[in-house]
């Protein structure tokens, strides 16, 4: 998006979208100064103004929305109502509730719909106001949704999708809150998003009578917190949501990557183009099976990178593949022993290399590694010590496949054989890990950590069930244009499907299970640069040892684990491993309770907003926010509700 520097440019109307002129008259005088670097944080609203965008989205999602024809729709902050009209025409709901508290939208946009169709109903209840939205949804079911059947007490039914109800709308709405001089919109949206997703676990908010699909417009600025594209950018918000919902990005601006040598925000950080090509290939296969087809003019260009692996995809997969399901040539204990013997020899050579980083940088690329760099498999990520990096990646790949093979053939091994092979593999893992950090200089360690992070990205992508929700996406994202929104603050549309799984058990309620999800994920991701074992020990004394004993999959590469706990970083935790950790924590007899858990509870709001995990390189975007923007006409609630 082109940075906007003046209100005049920021509020520019577009002739082909007449709605922009009406919106300009209503709101253009509210704010005189717009932050060029963070417009979403300095303006309290943005609206979809392109009917064509809405048509493309609904046609694209057609197969996934078929079951919602004739349902009830709850539409939060419909604003200019372009999206509202289009989804109404597509699904023909039996009722369509418009929760629009801003009076300026009523006459030009809301009232014409009420006059046109009796299925529309309007309410001025506040759907996203930080201090009032909890009570809004209680009143909604009591007064505006008489056809929604209560399922109180029927826990089985409450865990099933309620396809008679759909939540949609726009979360980009900022309200003044008495007692707060500033309101960070991104933080507020992340908090609200966390409540709405975890509400599906406890049957709160919109999920009172069963779990409900949500189609929500959010500012592009929040995407890095909700649906990150690299594992390093995972936050408490995204990781905890990953345990309770499936998220897909339906539409959004084309992602522009910054120069990898310059400072970047989390959303601008590049991972190798080859990783994205492989991810896109997998998504294409899913779309083909689902019968989904993308409009030609809405294709993403893969960040504009110049490399195309379409004609050489098999070679790309072969070069990157880390096979943990059936490691090649490691079917028997004899083959595994031979592989470990080779690893021991090569890892010793690797760890014994005492040359300085400057010598590694000057070294010409060895013939055995040349194809990795000729094919640009790791572009655009800078790799200053190419041979050192290639040796590390190849050794790490062999190590992970050997660890996976050990778990696969373990039933045929005696306890003594298992212990011996495990000890040898732990030794090779240590040499590979210590070898990449061989020279005790700051720059060497910096690049060593980046190499480890890059290998983790590769390993997490290539799992059968990829670590990132972004890589598990069911379909590709439709490209939007900045002019399709007014003002010029692009939004992204997220499709959120709650999972039927919950964490209630014989010894816990669903509320306790949901709280455990947040506590465990928060405790881990506040220390995301650490190993899982270290982070668990800081959560509670001896938690690392006990959790590893309760969840042996943490050592199994088939599930995303690593044999040596020092190789298993928090950011690389997969959804299955996180889920097992939560269950183990709930069943752990020594888990903190009451005052012992207070240190975790105090950070809930911070962790839910994603504030505790902002990248150290991200530029300061804390700017003065427009006074009066997004202020609802009705400002009754003075303080923050306890639930918020």
Closest listed residue to residue 384, CA positions, set 409, 363, 353, 411: 363
Residues with Cβ within 8 Å of 83's Cβ and at least 6 positions away in sequence, in order, are 48, 54, 168, 170, 217
β partners of residue 311? none
Higher per-residue pLDDT: 609 or 449? 449
What's the mean per-residue pLDDT of the chain? Answer: 84
* Interatomic CA distance for residues 460 and 370, integer angstroms: 25
pLDDT tens-digit readout, 34-43:
555 555 555 6
Residue the block writes with tokens 């929760």:
99
Closest listed residue to residue 402, CA positions, set 275, 260, 558, 531: 558
What percent of the chain has pLDDT above 90? 59
* Interatomic CA distance for residues 132 and 140, integer angstroms: 13
* Interatomic CA distance for residues 224 and 219, integer angstroms: 10
pLDDT score of 254 more than 90: no
Per-residue confidence band for 187, with pLDDT thresholds at 50, 70 and 90 = confident
β partners of residue 245? 498
Q: 632, 118 in Cβ contact below 8 A?
A: no
pTM above 0.75, yes or no: yes
Give the chain's end-to-end CA distance (angstroms, integer): 32
Residue 398's pLDDT is 97
For the chain, helix (H) and strand (E) counts, in that order, are 25, 10
pLDDT tens-digit readout, 444-464:
888 888 899 999 999 999 999
Q: 416, 341 in Cβ contact below 8 A?
A: no
Q: Which two tokens stand for residue 225?
A: 């917190």
Q: 477, 250 in Cβ contact below 8 A?
A: yes
* Interatomic CA distance for residues 115 and 111, integer angstroms: 6
Q: Which run of H or E residues covers position 493?
A: strand 491-498
Domains of the chain and CATH, by start: 47-173+185-253+480-498 (3.40.50.150), 312-468 (no CATH), 510-608 (no CATH)
Closest listed residue to residue 80, CA positions, set 57, 44, 104, 55: 104
* Least confidently predicted of 34-38, 481-485, 497-501, 577-581: 34-38
Residue 261's pLDDT is 53
Per-residue confidence band for 606, with pLDDT thresholds at 50, 70 and 90 = very low
pLDDT tens-digit readout, 98-151:
999 999 999 999 999 999 999 999 999 999 887 788 889 999 999 999 999 887
* Interatomic CA distance for residues 76 and 144, integer angstroms: 14
* Least confidently predicted of 184-193, 213-222, 549-558: 184-193
Residues in the chain: 644
Residue 631's pLDDT is 35
Q: Which two tokens stand for residue 94?
A: 């039996």
pLDDT score of 607 more than 80: no
Local structure of residue 416 (DSSP, 8 states): H
E-strand ranges in 141-286 read 161-170, 211-219, 245-253
Residue 318's pLDDT is 83
Q: What are the CA-CA distances from residue 365 to residues 106, 111, 371, 385, 445 (Å)? A: 66, 69, 10, 9, 21
Residue 603's pLDDT is 45
β partners of residue 18? none
């Amino acid at each position: 998006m082109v940075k906007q520097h003046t209100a005049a440019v920021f509020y520019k109307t577009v002739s082909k979208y007449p709605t922009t002129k009406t919106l300009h008259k209503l709101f253009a005088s509210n704010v005189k100064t717009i932050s060029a670097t963070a417009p979403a944080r300095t303006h309290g609203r943005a609206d979809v103004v392109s009917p064509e965008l809405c048509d493309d989205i609904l046609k694209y999602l057609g197969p996934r929305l078929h079951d919602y024809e004739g349902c009830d729709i709850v539409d939060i902050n419909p604003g200019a109502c372009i999206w509202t009209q289009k989804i109404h025409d597509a699904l023909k709901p039996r009722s369509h509730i418009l929760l629009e508290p801003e009076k300026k939208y009523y006459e030009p946009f809301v009232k014409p719909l009420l006059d046109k169709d009796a299925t529309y109903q309007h309410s001025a209840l506040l759907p996203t106001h930080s201090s009032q939205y909890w009570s809004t949804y209680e009143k909604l079911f009591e007064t505006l949704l008489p056809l929604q059947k209560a399922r109180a007490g029927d826990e089985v039914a409450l865990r099933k999708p309620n396809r008679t109800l759909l939540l949609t709308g726009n979360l980009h709405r900022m309200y003044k809150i008495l007692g707060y001089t500033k309101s960070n919109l991104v933080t507020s949206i992340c908090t609200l998003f966390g409540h709405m997703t975890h509400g599906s676990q406890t049957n709160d908010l919109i999920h009172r009578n069963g779990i409900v699909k949500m189609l929500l417009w959010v500012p592009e600025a929040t995407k890095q917190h909700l649906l990150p594209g690299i594992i390093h950018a995972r936050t408490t918000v995204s990781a905890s949501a990953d345990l309770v919902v499936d998220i897909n990005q339906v539409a959004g601006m084309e992602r522009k990557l910054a120069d990898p040598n310059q400072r970047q925000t989390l959303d601008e950080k590049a991972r190798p183009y080859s990783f994205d090509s492989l991810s896109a290939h997998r998504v294409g296969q899913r779309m083909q099976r689902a019968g989904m087809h993308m409009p030609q003019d809405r294709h993403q260009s893969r960040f504009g990178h110049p490399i195309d692996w379409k004609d050489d995809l098999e070679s790309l997969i072969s070069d990157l593949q880390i096979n943990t399901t059936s490691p090649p040539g490691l079917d028997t204990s004899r083959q595994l022993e031979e592989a470990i013997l080779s690893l021991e020899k090569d890892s010793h050579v690797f760890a014994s290399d005492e040359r300085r980083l400057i010598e590694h940088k000057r070294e010409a690329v060895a013939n055995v590694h040349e194809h990795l760099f000729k094919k640009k498999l790791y572009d655009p990520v800078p790799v200053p010590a190419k041979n050192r990096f290639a040796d590390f990646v190849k050794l790490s790949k062999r190590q992970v496949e050997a660890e996976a093979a050990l778990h696969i053939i373990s039933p045929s091994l005696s306890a003594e054989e298992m212990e011996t092979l495990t000890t040898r593999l732990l030794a090779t893992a240590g040499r590979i890990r210590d070898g990449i950090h061989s020279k005790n200089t700051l720059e060497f360690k910096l690049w060593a950590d980046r190499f480890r992070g890059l290998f983790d990205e590769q390993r997490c992508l290539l799992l059968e069930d990829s670590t990132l929700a972004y890589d598990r996406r069911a379909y590709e994202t439709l490209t939007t244009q900045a002019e399709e929104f007014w003002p010029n603050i692009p939004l992204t549309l997220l499709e959120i499907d709650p999972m039927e799984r919950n964490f209630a058990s014989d010894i816990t309620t669903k509320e306790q299970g949901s709280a455990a999800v947040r506590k465990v994920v928060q405790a881990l991701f506040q220390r995301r640069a650490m190993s899982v074992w270290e982070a668990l020990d800081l959560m509670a004394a001896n938690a690392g040892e006990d959790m590893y004993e309760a969840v042996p999959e943490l050592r199994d590469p088939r599930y995303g684990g690593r044999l040596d706990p020092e190789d298993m970083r928090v950011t690389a935790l997969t959804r299955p491993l996180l889920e097992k950790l939560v269950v183990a924590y709930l069943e752990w007899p020594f888990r903190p309770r009451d005052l012992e858990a207070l240190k975790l509870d105090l950070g809930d709001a911070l962790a839910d907003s994603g504030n505790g995990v902002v990248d150290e390189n991200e530029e300061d975007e804390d700017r003065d926010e427009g006074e009066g923007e997004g202020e609802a006409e009705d400002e009754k609630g003075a303080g923050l509700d306890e639930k918020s």
